[in-house]
Each structure stands twice: as C-alpha cells, then as structure tokens.
Structure 1
C-alpha cells in the first residue's frame, strides 16, 4: 500500500508561458486585509524579454492558477535577486490600484450622488479602475444634512412686502397666497429692479471674503413676452452703505405661469460689510408684471445648494426650522435632526487616494468594499461574506496549530470604538469624535477628513468578538475561502466552531495556513457537534436550549 504524494499544481502566466512558482511562493486571501488577495511568487531568473515586460507601472496582469482555481492579480512589484538568480513578483487584487490612484483636482461629483452609496463607489471606480465591475448588492442613502441660515428677513412674504424694496423702473405690492404670498412687480419701463432687502437700512451684514449664494423664483404674468429676462445680482457695500461691486447671475427668460429659478453666487470683497441681493428685470415694458417668490440668501459653498426655507416651515425627520428673532422679520435657521454629516466629506480632494475617500463613506452605512480574485468588486454587508461551506480540521490533518485567547488585541476584541476626525478648512482646524460601545477595551482610530457619522458603530459591529483566534496549518485545499465555517479539533483545546478569516497557501509545499475567528466551543453531543448529520428540526424539542 502506498501513500499518495501531493505535487504542486500552481502556475503563473507570464508573456504566454505557464511558469511554476518555486519554494517560498505564497498566495493569500484575507478578508481583514486590503488588498483582499495577494501573492508573492518566486521564479527562476527569467529571460530578458519576459523580465522587460514585467513593469508594474504599466498595469501588467499576472494570472495565477492553483488547484484549478484562477486568481487574476495585478503586478505591484518585481524584484530580481542576481545572487540567488530568482525573480520575486508581488501581486495583488485591484484594491491596490484604488489605494494608489489620486486625482490631480478636487472632485465634488460624489456630493451630487449622495442618494446612493453605490453610485459614489461606481463613480470613483470609473476614474481609478476604468474596467472595474461592481456586483449587484444593497444600497444606502448617505445624503448629509448641515445647518444653514437664510439671511433674508421676510423670504416667505408673510402678509406684506416688508424688507423688499422697489429699486426703480417698477412698483411692488403684496399678493396673498395661502399662509404666505408673493411680490408683484408692476413695470413702469423697460428695465427695473427689486431688492430683497430694505434699502433704507441695508441690514444684511456680510463677512469679508465669505461666499454668498442667493436664489428666487420668478415668472411673468400672461401674455409671454420674448426677450423679457430677469437675473439675480449680489451688490456688496462698505460700512457706509457705499457700493463696492456687483456680481450678476445669468439672465433667465421669463415664462408666463411657470416659475424659473434665478441664482447667483459671489465672494465678498475684503472690505465688504453688507450685501444687498436684488432682481434685475430687462426687456420689459410699461404695464408688464413680474412675480417673485421664495427668496433665499445664505453664506456657504455653492457646491452644496440649499433649498429655500423660512423659520416658519414645519420640521420633519431631517430638519427643524426657526426664526432667530421676530417671526418673518429676522433670519431663518435650519437645524439638522440627529447626528448630521459634513458635506465636505463628499468632496474627493486632490491628492487623496480613492480608497481613503471611499472607506469612511462605505463604513458609515455598515458596508464593506472589496475586490475578489476574479476582479469582481463587491459592496455589501459584512455578513454577506459568509459562505455556506465548511472546513473540518483535525489533529490528523494539521501539522501545526495555535489557539490564542487575548484581552489585548484590539483587532479581535473591543468593547468600544472612538473615531477621531481631524480636518482643516480655510485655515481653520476642526476636530470631532464619533463614539460607540461601552468603556473598557476601547480602540481609537484617527481619520484626517471631515466628519461622517456612524463609522464607530459599524467598526464596533465588525470587531466585537470573543477575543479568541486559532491558526492551523493543514493540507492545501484550493477552494478554501474567507467566510467559510471552520470546525477545528486540536490536542489540548476544546473543539471549536468559527469562521475562516484568512487563508495563506504555500504554493510549493501544498500546505495552507488558516486563520479563524468568532470561535465558540462545541460540547460533545450538542447540536453543533452533530451539525452536518443532524438538522435542528431533528433535535429533541423537550431538551433545554443549553443542552441541545
């Protein structure tokens, strides 16, 4: 009777040739690592033409096969050892590309896609890994909420046209409409202006070099007149109410019965003290009427638009509204409900890697992003990485084993998480903490980026465990994958059931190292011990749970 000899069957495809990895070659799948798949392949010194083609800067792929399983990995580094006459190739799945890719300019497009975390991921992948394919999966709305102040003192025109002023070429009056109303500007000539501020006081203060954004809805009364346009203007004044400059928004053709939105954004001059928004009407004529409603003026980044609101609006599950002072005669304040995010977290900064940009956003909704060995990207919940297959390890098949129970490894056991966000904007430093869990074994993580809520809770969910891990070396099984169930029986330790966290194959020796986590002990005769031969439905219903 003879014992079968296991022979290595791993190979890597280089320049059309299948080459066999030498001693020291390894292949790893690790769901706790980035990249998820990696390999170190040692080969005899290669011919000059093949060696010359192995340039990791040109996106070379090095397909690797092992036990009939394919691993499509990219070349990240090649090292030639002339003394040992070997070449070592460092390979990785495509997260390595995303980690290295950094844009040269700021990209605010992700903010416009915040209704879908999948859309944001697809946008970034399209820039960094153009041929990436994202597998179907769950989605989440990650739209941020942030405070805003409507500086206008009567934006809803509640019963009057107070704080609105005719600037010439027209007269204005109030028209009731429901609980509020609108401004009716009757033209006395071809051109006119309506200020959204009381020009006898000019009481809208401005901060020097701050950015201001204004909007208003406008339409003409019938009939339609071709060439009749309106535009929104921001006029900045000094402390003495003397005009400094005016910035004009784009002209908009007026439509009868249909509101058009006028907008303008401008940065205040260094000596600005006040701002006066007004509507400039052109191409009209005596007797024509322009209707204005829903005025808005706020300080902030124009890339993050604010919908018109007043302090009298009803709140909802996203925002509450209030006046700073007297109703309909003071600025209106919009306050987010709950723990809001920061819209700047959705701006992909120049020089920031795609991975660093996406990781906080993905983690904040409890998801994970990874690329498998077949170059298929996944955005999913952590539990989706579980695989309905099992590996059984016994002393007879294991050459080495280690069972560790620790209270000090924060990667396998914590009671709490603190994520400390630190960032700088316009020369001002900000710092904010996101906290989850209970005091005790607490892990602190620092992120140099704007605040995103929910990350601490998501990290805690993924890190909480028993503090126990097992690692074993067994005969190689090419189908082994992180997420599989692992049942392990080692001498001197109770039988355990857990989940494979990482697999590391020795490609030359036909052995593999398994790292397992989430371990629980199996008592002889309980249901877990019978699992595989006995269904839960077959267990005696009269047994107590702890005895089952």
Structure 2
C-alpha cells in the first residue's frame, strides 16, 4: 500500500489563501486550455480586493505529491498553475469564496477591439499566421509566442481587371491610343522592356511638354473609369538618354492623370513619382486618383517632359483601388492576360490578346476582410477562423506560455494507468452522441462549416466548407460570423475529432507531470491494453485523484513495439515477436 501526502497552496500576489477544495483541468479541446474551480476560506477585505477579477487578479496554485519511503516522504511530482481570476463568489453562510480561474486565452476572449475603425494591420503579416498572432493579437496583452515552427501562409486575394487594352505596348492595334505628342515614339525599342517584346521609347522632343497618350479617345472618361471610384495607373519606365534640357516640371518622367470636374474647380493633375534621371534604371511608378461624381474628363499621359533626353515606357496597369496588394503595403506587380499563373491567381484576356482588358482571378477565395478586425469583436473570435483554416491551434499553458501548434504536436513522456498500479476506476465509452461540456459533439465523420458575414457593400454573404469520410453517418455543423477564409477548416476539424469515438476516462493516483499531448496507455481488466494520447488531465484536490481523458486509442497487444520496456527497441524483440506482425 502506498502512503501519499498531497499539499496544495495558493497565493494572490504574496498573500496566502486558505484552500478548502478545488480542481484544475488541462484540456486540449478547451479554450481556455486550463481552468480551475477553487474554494478558499473567506479572507479579509484587502485580500478580497486583491482577488477582484476586475483588477486583473491572478492566483498561483502550487500542488505536490509525495510518497512515504524509508520513513520519510519523498517528492514524486509537483506543478504550479498561474491563472487569471475570472469570477469570485462569496458564500456568507459557509464563510467561503468560490473562485473560477483560467489560462490566458480568457484574456483574448474578453479583449474586444477598442476602436472606431476596423484594424487591418494583420494584412501586413498575412504570409505568416505566426506573425499575425504575435504582432496583432498577443501584443495587445503584452505576450508573445514560444519558439516554434508551426506556421501557415494566409495570403488574401482579390479579383482585379487591368483596364489597359494594350498594357505591354505591343502597338499591334490602335485601341489603346499610345500617340506621341510633341515628340516621336519608337514603337519597337527592344533595348529594354518588362512585358511583351519591346517598349515605347519617347525621343526627339520638340517642346518640354512631350508625352505618350495613354487613352484610346473613345470617351470623356478614358479607359473605362467611372465617376465616384478610385483608380491607380502604374507603369514601368527607364531613361535611355538623360534629360538635361528644359523641364516640364512636375510632369517630367512621370505618369500624369488629368481630371476635370466643376467640384475640383477645373482640371487637376495627379503625378506619380519621377523616374530616376539615370540611364538604365528601370522603375515602376504609379498614381492613384479619384474620379468625382461630376467629372467630365479623365485622361492619362506617360511623360518624357524635357527638351533633351529619351524615356522608355512599358507594362502599364490600370486597376480600381489603391494599386496595392492585399497586404496594403506592396505595390501591385504588373500583369496582363499573358501572365503565367501563380500559387494564388490565374490571368486571362477578356478578348483578343494585347487588344482587350485582362483579369486576375483568385485560385483561392480569401477576401482581405478575413483579416479585418472589426471594432468591438474579441480577439479570439477574430483569430479563430484563421487558425482553423490554417490547421493550427493556439493555446496558453498554465505557466502563461503561448504556443502555436499543428496536428503533429505531442509531448515527451507517457501517462500510464494500470489496475494494481495506480488505477482507481475507468469508464470505456463508445458513443455517436456524446458531447463536450459546451455542447460540441465529441465524434463525427463529417463536418460542415458555415460562414456568414456582411461584405464591404453591406450585402449579407454566406459560404460553406465541408469534409467527410466515406459513408459518413454523423455531421457536425460549425458556424462562424466571419468572412470566408478559404477551404480547409472542415478538414482540420474532422482530423481533430477522429479517434474520439471511443474514449477512456481514467481515474488514478495523482501525477502532476501528466499533460495533454503525452502518450497514454491503459491496462484494465477485461480489455486489451489501450494506447493513444492524453487529451485532458484533471486533478481533484479534495479527492487526491486525477482523471485522464484520451483520444486516438488503439488495441495494443503485449507484442506491440510500444509495449517494449524503456531503452529497448524492436530489434531486441524476442523470438516469435517479429516487428512485421506487431501493431503500430
């Protein structure tokens, strides 16, 4: 018979609490991952103030188990739990206080964005979910992720149209215009180009106001622009002969847009940055402009803008919007209908090649609104759909260490429960209808994820993601009131619940080293030994017991290699226990 000594203490700051009863649970399926219910003797007013959850109170629980050996108690395992106070309830009849404690996911769950405008800062980090979590979320609560490799790209996408009908300056047709004014244009300069096979070189200027028209002269609002919208026109330019004569001022070596409207008081010019006045220094420049509702004319020009010099122009891109990628930082790279497909987009002409507009179509529908944090929304609801789609899990352990992990995450060590060793009781359940404490099904073989949100135009949108096993019989519906982040969430959720149709809930002697993610093994009468993983561990301080939840259980006969003693490999298996026939 083992004689054990259990010691449990708790402090708030440096104030000791008188613990009467309580429990702590770690559960990989929960958020928060760690929760505790603690009963303490009613303390004085100062201690109650220190425990007030409105003051960011934290309680540290220390628990230890020792066993009697050789007339003295020898420490076997211990653990501390640093948790935030979520609620406090005083029982004046019993002179006790009930405390509800939780790990720091609760901080993100209660932190709503305090702003009058949406937070789009996550877009600048969209190539790394790890960076989004660190820089956008955890920074809000003064925390950061522990080192790790689990990460995912969450690049958002948008469909666009290049409204230039001959963007590569092929000059095959006259649809785009490209007429030279106050200079001559070489329509087949092969000395430099970005797109197509040549550029248009402006040379032999007759005045400083020398330029290439970028309009087809088919309408007052050129190139299909519409009143009330914002556009960006960019292009690549390269000085062939340095400009050293009389300058046209702000227009020289720029793309310039002229917008005429009464509301503007006439015609207003919008200029891109100037090309470097250095020979063979190719540069992309662009200009963003808004067309007023009363606009009567919009025209564009690519300037030489000097009485001496030569400038080559090529690769024009006219799009609606600010001309930036969805990260809000990177200028759009040039593309047209001949551009090769990428990991995110395909490209095509809307009509004849080099004589029509062209489109960029996302391969994965993931609107930037999926990374837009709305005022008042809590941080956990914002990041949840992103993590699920990326097949990642974010949790904070009982020591306030934040981790971002994928499905390969596991911990060293093993939780062993065996009759005659440390087992007190066990329940073996196979159920299609079992649910967690929050009502989430513990097993399914099909998942449908429903997203509902309001888009930038105010329209209600709905999208679905789904995944299922063959001949599925039970479907779990998961609903998010967030923009659709692309496919993948349903498959991830399904992978997380697989192996949970059968569960062993094991009550055993306390071991404070046991942790979800460790291997778990159970040896019980009347059933084949089981191995899998611990999914939850709960310590009951009043009963001096722990309860271990499991997942991914498999029958494990004595010949299985996982049953071999520590430091022994399958190469050491006895005759008749060939690894070929062993269970893995």
Tell me the residue number matched to 1:432: 463
1:511 and 2:545 are equivalent in the alignment: yes
> Deviation of residue 531 (structure 1)?
5.6
Q: Contact 1:160/1:174 (CA < 8 Å) preserved in 2?
A: no
Q: Tell me, what secondary structure is at the counterpart of 2:223? A: coil
> Deviation of residue 378 (structure 1)?
1.1
Tell me the residue number matched to 2:274: 252
Q: Contact 2:84/2:102 (CA < 8 Å) preserved in 1?
A: yes
> Deviation of residue 383 (structure 1)?
2.2
Residue 223 (structure 2) aligned to one of 192, 204, 209:
204
Tell me the residue number matched to 1:142: 154
1:49 and 2:46 are equivalent in the alignment: yes
Q: In terms of mean alpha carbon deviation, does 319-328 or 195-204 score higher?
A: 195-204
Q: Tell me, what secondary structure is at the counterpart of 1:252? A: coil
Residue 86 (structure 1) aligned to one of 80, 83, 96:
96
Residue 520 (structure 1) aligned to one of 536, 540, 554:
554
Task: Report 1:300-449 matches (<5 A).
Answer: 300=321, 302=323, 304=326, 305-337=331-363, 339-394=364-419, 397-409=422-434, 411-425=441-455, 426-438=457-469, 439-449=472-482
The Cα offsets for residues 433-463 of structure 1, whole Å up to 9 and x where unpaired, read as: 2222234322221222222222222222222
Q: Contact 1:231/1:251 (CA < 8 Å) preserved in 2?
A: yes
Tell me the residue number matched to 1:181: 198
1:73 and 2:91 are equivalent in the alignment: no
Tell me, in whole angstroms, the C-alpha distance in 1 between the residues paired with 2:110 and 2:271: 40
Tell me, in whole angstroms, the C-alpha distance in 2 between the residues paired with 1:276 and 1:415: 59
Q: Tell me, what secondary structure is at the counterpart of 1:414? A: coil
Across the aligned residues of Structure 1 and Structure 2, the Cα RMSD in angstroms comes to: 3.3
Tell me, in whole angstroms, the C-alpha distance in 1 between the residues paired with 2:272 and 2:52: 51
Tell me, in whole angstroms, the C-alpha distance in 2 between the residues paired with 1:164 and 1:96: 61
> Deviation of residue 208 (structure 1)?
4.9
Residue 455 (structure 1) aligned to one of 478, 489, 494:
489
CA, structure 1 residues 17+458, in 2 after alignment: closer, same or farther (shift >3 Å)? same
Tell me, in whole angstroms, the C-alpha distance in 2 between the residues paired with 1:8 and 1:273: 84
Q: Tell me, what secondary structure is at the counterpart of 1:22? A: strand
CA, structure 1 residues 153+78, in 2 after alignment: closer, same or farther (shift >3 Å)? same
Q: In terms of mean alpha carbon deviation, does 261-270 or 151-160 score higher?
A: 261-270
CA, structure 1 residues 200+206, in 2 after alignment: closer, same or farther (shift >3 Å)? closer
Stretches of structure 2 that go unaligned for 5 or more consecutive residues are: 65-77, 435-439
The Cα offsets for residues 198-230 of structure 1, whole Å up to 9 and x where unpaired, read as: 124455334554442222223444335596655
> Normalising by structure 2, what TM-score?
0.82
Tell me, in whole angstroms, the C-alpha distance in 2 between the residues paired with 1:72 and 1:280: 65
Tell me the residue number matched to 2:74: none
Tell me, in whole angstroms, the C-alpha distance in 2 between the residues paired with 1:207 and 1:416: 47
Q: Contact 1:501/1:517 (CA < 8 Å) preserved in 2?
A: yes
> Normalising by structure 1, what TM-score?
0.87
Q: In terms of mean alpha carbon deviation, does 371-380 or 324-333 score higher?
A: 371-380
CA, structure 1 residues 72+224, in 2 after alignment: closer, same or farther (shift >3 Å)? farther
> Deviation of residue 55 (structure 1)?
3.2
Q: Contact 2:32/2:104 (CA < 8 Å) preserved in 1?
A: yes
Q: Contact 1:11/1:66 (CA < 8 Å) preserved in 2?
A: yes
Residue 287 (structure 1) aligned to one of 308, 313, 317:
308
Q: In terms of mean alpha carbon deviation, does 495-504 or 394-403 score higher?
A: 394-403
Q: Contact 1:206/1:274 (CA < 8 Å) preserved in 2?
A: no
Q: Contact 1:149/1:298 (CA < 8 Å) preserved in 2?
A: yes
Q: Contact 1:10/1:65 (CA < 8 Å) preserved in 2?
A: yes
Tell me, in whole angstroms, the C-alpha distance in 1 between the residues paired with 2:542 and 2:254: 74
> Deviation of residue 328 (structure 1)?
0.8
Q: Contact 1:206/1:272 (CA < 8 Å) preserved in 2?
A: no
The Cα offsets for residues 326-353 of structure 1, whole Å up to 9 and x where unpaired, read as: 111100122334x342232222333332
Tell me, in whole angstroms, the C-alpha distance in 2 between the residues paired with 1:156 and 1:234: 19
Q: Contact 1:205/1:275 (CA < 8 Å) preserved in 2?
A: no
The Cα offsets for residues 259-287 of structure 1, whole Å up to 9 and x where unpaired, read as: 33332334444466986444467xx4323
> Deviation of residue 35 (structure 1)?
1.0
Q: Tell me, what secondary structure is at the counterpart of 2:119? A: coil
Tell me the residue number matched to 2:106: 96
Tell me the residue number matched to 2:16: 18
Residue 299 (structure 1) aligned to one of 308, 320, 330:
320
Q: Contact 1:249/1:262 (CA < 8 Å) preserved in 2?
A: no
Tell me the residue number matched to 2:67: none
Tell me, in whole angstroms, the C-alpha distance in 2 between the residues paired with 1:273 and 1:507: 79
> Deviation of residue 134 (structure 1)?
2.7
Tell me, in whole angstroms, the C-alpha distance in 2 between the residues paired with 1:83 and 1:279: 84
Tell me the residue number matched to 2:137: 125
Tell me the residue number matched to 1:262: 285
CA, structure 1 residues 138+4, in 2 after alignment: closer, same or farther (shift >3 Å)? closer
Q: Contact 2:172/2:354 (CA < 8 Å) preserved in 1?
A: no
Q: Contact 1:252/1:260 (CA < 8 Å) preserved in 2?
A: no
Task: Report 1:463-542 matches (<5 A).
Answer: 463-465=497-499, 467-523=501-557, 526-528=560-562, 535-539=569-573, 540=575
Q: In terms of mean alpha carbon deviation, does 515-524 or 500-509 score higher?
A: 515-524
Q: Contact 2:530/2:555 (CA < 8 Å) preserved in 1?
A: yes
Q: In terms of mean alpha carbon deviation, does 112-121 or 531-540 score higher?
A: 531-540
Tell me the residue number matched to 1:30: 27
Q: Contact 2:570/2:579 (CA < 8 Å) preserved in 1?
A: no
Q: Contact 2:243/2:310 (CA < 8 Å) preserved in 1?
A: no
Tell me, in whole angstroms, the C-alpha distance in 2 between the residues paired with 1:459 and 1:268: 46
Q: Contact 1:135/1:376 (CA < 8 Å) preserved in 2?
A: no
Tell me, in whole angstroms, the C-alpha distance in 1 between the residues paired with 2:297 and 2:19: 73
> Deviation of residue 160 (structure 1)?
5.2
